[in-house]
Amino acid sequence: MKTFNVALVGVTGAVGKEMLSILEERNFPVEKLIPLASARSRGKTVVFRDKKIPIQVLGEAHFSGIDIVLMSAGAGVSREYAPQAAEAGCLVIDNSSAFRLEEDIPLVVPEINPQAVYRDRVRNIIANPNCTTIISVLPLKPLHDHAQVTRVIAASYQAVSGAGAQAMRDLENQVCNYVEKKEPITQNSSHPFAFNLIPRIDKVLDNLYTREEMKLVWETRKILGDDSIRVTATCVRVPVFRSHSVAMTVETQHPVSRDTALKLFKGFPGLTVEDDPLNDIYPMPLYASGQDSCFVGRIREDISAPNSIHMWVVGDQLRKGAALNAVQIAELVAAEAQ
């Protein structure tokens, strides 16, 4: 079996740590691992396959001799270093928003459009979609193939871990302060996370949608390969540590019954159906956390409009919404090289 020298940029972040773990869990054919991070991590190590590996400082290390670069840093870092790595001959799989909407960069969810990995690698960069998009688009794909999705109305309920490690600490501290009847401390947001819902994630744009909401609009169309799909979204931060949830109303060209939707979802890779509301069985973020699958339930036909169906989908945004999806892309590349 061919093996690969793999660099992991942002190895100390939440997604980077998850990528490291998933590479080992899935026994990805790594010949040599090169962990990269900022100068703050100088002198630190990571453990991979029971070996301590020193972290190298991004900007001081070079990309020669590396086959695959997994990037889990921010968009600014990706814009600077992804082209450098690609020019050095590496295949870059980038988790940031830097390249997702560029026409000559494939935006890939392996269960949906794996062909894009092989067809569109002219710049040696593949983009990982936004975490909410990945979770939302998985159940949309089988519906689109069967009945042509025409419109999606989505409301996301996004965990604080999507805002970073400090946001998770803020939520924990705010809950403790509430129990102790102290004022909540807010360091990572304009408003407290605990016992609250914040209907704004990312920058507010001129159309009064946020960038997070527009990512769902733009990326859904690109992944499904259909710019005619109308998408609207409201993204909300909720006091949950991990895993995003999305309520979706999906309008289709042709009618889709609940029974048909259940069959479509049960047969689609990456999806697990949890749909027995009378017995309190439905997807929940507490139980989706740490799981590779996305979970879909509360499936019902719309009583207010024809050709419309409702669903509730939940997924771990650090795993399938980010790290796992990137490693799955790398697995497609590795399989091609065998």
Give pLDDT tens digits for 144-180: 999 999 999 999 999 999 998 889 999 999 999 999 9
Mean pLDDT in residue range 51-77: 95
- The verdict on 89 and 220 lying in the same domain is no
Q: How many CB atoms lie within 10 A of CB 280?
A: 7
- The verdict on 297 and 329 lying in the same domain is no
Q: Could you tell me the CA-to-CA distances from 338 to 3, 122, 280, 325, 334 in Å, in that order?
A: 9, 20, 46, 20, 7
Domains of the chain: total: 2
- The verdict on 281 and 313 lying in the same domain is yes
pLDDT at 36: 97
- The verdict on 163 and 258 lying in the same domain is yes
pLDDT at 183: 85
Give the structural domain span for 12. Answer: 4-129+322-337
Given a cut of 80, is residue 119 above it in pLDDT? Answer: no
Residue whose structure tokens are 């509430």 = 178
- The verdict on 123 and 16 lying in the same domain is yes
Q: What is the pLDDT of residues 289-326, one digit of tens each?
A: 999 999 999 999 999 999 999 999 999 999 999 999 99
**Residue type at 29 in one-letter notation:** P
- The verdict on 98 and 183 lying in the same domain is no
- The verdict on 52 and 151 lying in the same domain is no
- The verdict on 212 and 333 lying in the same domain is no
| Among 122, 119, 18, 19, residue whose Cα is nearest residue 70 | 19
**Residue type at 49 in one-letter notation:** R
* Structural tokens at position 324: 């796992």
CATH of the domain at 195: 3.30.360.10
pLDDT at 338: 83
- The verdict on 283 and 199 lying in the same domain is yes
Given a cut of 80, is residue 52 above it in pLDDT? Answer: yes
Contacts of 331 (CB under 8 A, 6+ apart): 26, 28, 110
pLDDT at 290: 96
* pLDDT-derived band at 337, boundaries 50, 70, 90: confident
Q: What is the pLDDT of residues 240-296, one digit of tens each?
A: 999 999 999 999 999 999 999 999 999 999 999 999 999 999 999 999 999 999 999
- The verdict on 70 and 214 lying in the same domain is no
* Active site residues per annotation: 131, 244
Residues, the chain, total? 338
DSSP sequence for 173-217: HHHHHHHTT-PPP-SSSSS--TT--B---S-B-TTS-BHHHHHHH
Q: Residue 185 phi/psi, 5° resolution?
A: -95, 125
- The verdict on 163 and 308 lying in the same domain is yes
Rounded to the nearest 10 degrees, how much is the dihedral formed by the CA atoms of 266, 267, 268, 272? 30
* Structural tokens at position 67: 């086959």
Q: What is the pLDDT of residues 172-231, one digit of tens each?
A: 999 999 999 888 878 778 899 999 999 999 999 999 999 999 999 999 999 999 999 999
CA separation for the pair 136, 112 (Å, rounded): 12
- The verdict on 108 and 146 lying in the same domain is no
* Structural tokens at position 328: 């799955």
Angle among Cα 289, 322, 51 to the nearest 5 degrees reads 85
pTM, full prediction: 0.95
pLDDT at 5: 98
CA separation for the pair 114, 106 (Å, rounded): 10
Parallel, antiparallel, or unpaired for β 4-9 and 68-71?
Answer: parallel
pLDDT at 121: 78
